[in-house]
Amino acid sequence: MGRRPSSAIAADRDPLVAQTRITFFRSGGPGGQHRNKTETAVRLIHLPTGLTVTAAEERSQRRNRAIAFERLRQRLAARNRRPTPRLATRATAASREARLRAKRLQARKKALRRSEDA
C-alpha cells in the first residue's frame, strides 16, 4: 500500500485546501540570510471568490501556511456574514408628550426673557 502525499490527505480533510492555489515566495525585510534566501512566505488565492491572503511573519513555511489559512477562513466568514436588519422603532406616546412639555417650558422661559420693547 503506497503512501499518499500529505497535500492529498490535507485536501481530502479540508475542502478549503482544494479550493485554493498556494504559492511560496521570499518575504524580504529584516531577518537576514535565512529570510532572504528561502521561500517561507505563503500566498493563498481562494479560487471561487478571488480572495488573496499572505503570511510572512514566521521563519517556518509550515507556520506561515497555517496562519494564511486561518486568515482566509476569517475573511470568508466575514464575507459570508449577513448583517442583522435594523428594526424601525417609534417613540412612545408618553415620550412624545414629555418632549412637547419640555419644549413648551423652554418657550415660556425664552418669552419671559424678551424685553417688552421688542
Report the number of distinct structural domains present in the chain: 1
* Single-letter residue type at 62: R
Long-range contacts of residues 9-17, Cβ cutoff 8 Å, at least 24 apart: 16/46, 16/69, 16/72, 16/73, 16/76, 17/69
Residue 29 within a domain: yes
Residue 111 within a domain: no
Residue 110 within a domain: no
Residue 114 within a domain: no
pLDDT tens-digit series, residues 1-15: 454 455 544 555 688
Residue 33 within a domain: yes
Share of the chain above pLDDT 90, in %: 62
Residue 37 within a domain: yes
How many distinct helices (H) and strands (E) make up the chain? 5, 3
Residuewise pLDDT in 10s, the chain (118 residues): 454 455 544 555 688 999 999 999 988 777 677 777 788 899 999 999 999 999 998 888 999 999 999 999 999 999 999 989 989 899 999 999 999 999 999 999 999 998 776 5
CA distance linking residue 69 with residue 76, whole number of Å:
10
CA distance linking residue 42 with residue 58, whole number of Å:
10
Q: For residue 26, give its domain range.
A: 6-80
CATH number at residue 31: 3.30.160.20
Residue 15 within a domain: yes
What global pTM score does this model have?
A: 0.61
